[in-house]
Structure 1
Amino acid sequence: MNQKRILLLSFLSLFLSFSPSLFAQKSLSSIDQSLRYSLYSRLGLKILPVKLSPTRYKLQMVVEKIEEKPVFETFSFSYSILSSYEEEISSDRVNLLTAMDLIADTDRHWLFEKTVEIPESQATAIALLTVLDTRQQDEYVYHIDLKSSFVFDQPDFGYYYSNEIPFDQNYLTKEEALLFKTGTKPSIYTFFYPTKFDVPFPPMETRPTEIPKEIEVVNQGDFLSNVPKKLEDEGYYFFQTDTSSQAGLLLKTVHESFPKVKDWDEMVQMVTYISTRKEHETLLQAPDKKRALDEYWINLTRNPEIAKDLIRNYFRMVEFANILFTDFKEGWKTDRGMVYIVMGPPQEVNFYQDREVWSYVGMDDNSKIRFTFARVKTLLTPHFYTLNRSRAYQPVWFKNISQWRSGRMAF
């Protein structure tokens, strides 16, 4: 017991020594969240809210252990509730989370839960989770709007792995099950969308995206909560406890190989970002996709070893895009996924209530290339973003594609 107390006191002292510099003069919009999309992150953060009443929200704060066997005491954990993206994160807004606040500590996750009160009259409320790696001073950040003009409402139920850790992925492999829990109503209604989406236009294509006039939806009825629910089909599901409400949960179901590529046909689809139109049409029409792809990669690089590295690096980016950006589309088909694959992880990421901005170093250290993703309000998800396209992206886009095609692009 004394040893635990000494460790806790040491941890608190360490946190307090960092907290003035960590939060001084910072707002949510000024925080660089690029670690969220890094290929080398040690942690993955998620906040999964459950609405308990018109004013009360349960914050399920899940920290995924990406690093092998991380030590809890090497990190400092805290959360805040903010009223805007520009509000200064002052010390009185910061709530420390310690080992005594842990709800669960598994091989894969740390879980914290806190219940917060948000006045009905408050139009905007943002939950912010921050984890500081005290070894490198890396700051991991995740936020979610509990209330805002981009959120219809929060679901009044939770959804969990078999070990009852909140489900923190953007997708579920079809034929697997989740546990849904609600304390308000016994049943949850299910709507299934088997829709498949096209690949997005490149950043310099300014014509409007074609939107399907009709989207097929299958009402699958209701099922009892607190009992594991298997999701059998590949597509996306929308769950609600009240079909007259605008609150619900979107969940994408995927093939068994996801987030990796499934087969040669899917691989052909995915290389569209670095292919010419003629090359891609040839691949689509080829009767033997494997042979056609082998010829495609060799023709690009003229070197089998470079071709192997190119394939490995390119599909590594596809895998990360699927993990990070899947919504009702596979991550690689989203605007953010497309930019992530071609340009690599952004050097800076800033969130505002109505947009997300990625910055890359330009021709020199004093210039930056920025991609702005506008936030779009939809019933299905509060995290849907579309790229503000511009012809000005053409030079840098073609430059990066040329590097990919030569086998020199590696992240």
Structure 2
Amino acid sequence: MLKTVPDLGEIIENRSIIIHFQPQVSLKRKAVVGLEALSRGFDPQSGEIIPPTLLFAQARDKASRLALDRACRTNAVEAFASLHRREKSLMLSMNVDASCINEETRGSNHILNLAKRCGVSPGNVIIEIIESRCDDTEALMEFVRFYRKHGFLIALDDVGVGFSNLDRIPMLKPDVIKLDRCLINGVNKHFHKLEVVRSFVQMANRLGCLVLAEGVETAEEAMCLLSNGVDVFQGFYFARPAPGLDAVPGMESKVNALAERHRENRTQQIAEDKRRYSSYDLTVLTMCQALAESPARDTCKDLARFIDTYPSVECLYVLDMKGNQISETLCNPARLNSSKRFLYEPASEGADHSLKEYFLPIQAGLEKFTTRPYISLASGNLCTTISHVFYHKGTGRHRILCVDMKREEESSCNW
């Protein structure tokens, strides 16, 4: 075990820094598309590795941080250059200490000159920035504009962790958004984490940038993310950081196995969804047929009977064709979240649903609509709402039956 850390000045002067690469894997392409360069120091006397936390902890002032940052960049690009000559499509991701981006370093062009000297195409370099570490926003913006103009790609690192400022995303317009491990850990088991990831994926799709999940440690996490729009992954599940080309061999079999498993799971999931929604449709159609024949004064009695008859039903209510609720909301009392009644309360007769996701498609002309799973405002539980038009013979009017079907969080990645 390393007992003392060599002087930082000596480490930089003697270039006692080694570069390990960790693959960034595209499952859809079944290929390693990039490598992140990770710096480690080493003690030239003992040959022992200096962990990154110890190495960077030695840089206690601006000058030493900048010197160490540049030394790490230099070694990273030089180590990548030989890989770049063999595989021109491979991308290099490397971190830049954003605290070093300021008025004093403005215009140094260090990374551009380094790439030119090493024969690495700027289009193959992704500059990773942790935006929370930058104190000079104007210098950061100029840095990003300069390097993007010269063909480099910009990644925003550690998104979703700590006090990350989301306003930097529209400001920096990153080409890559790297989701932090804190969001990825157990994402296949946690609905709320998955919803945050989905939000980032949807935003990235609209902004034209790529989402990369880092810190992936299990096949289940990878498959969950893949089924929800993430394609590029980095983490111990695929490979630990290693020197040079040692990071690349051996990946193909693991990626192929995971892709095949994902394909099988998705096929099974689609079949299960088909059975589930067929059952939902039959249940809701049976309810609508009963309501169509029943007197309007008995609507609440009918809804209460449906609650008792169908265990999968959480809440029921009826709307008119303008989206106004014309019945009370009948709920399964065992499913109501008593600890959150301030936040979640079943809607009352007269409530306006005209802007709800389950009403607008009906207004647009659909006979029925099924939402994606979401947290119900009526119960605070995960549910799917099915809205279905029926013709009430007694009043001669069309109505809309809305049915909240309960969903379970355990199967989060089937959503």
TM-score (norm 2): 0.24
Which has the larger share of helix?
Answer: 2
TM-score (norm 1): 0.24
Report which structure shows greater RCO (CA 8 Å, sep ≥6): 1
Larger Rg: 2
Which has the larger share of strand?
Answer: 1
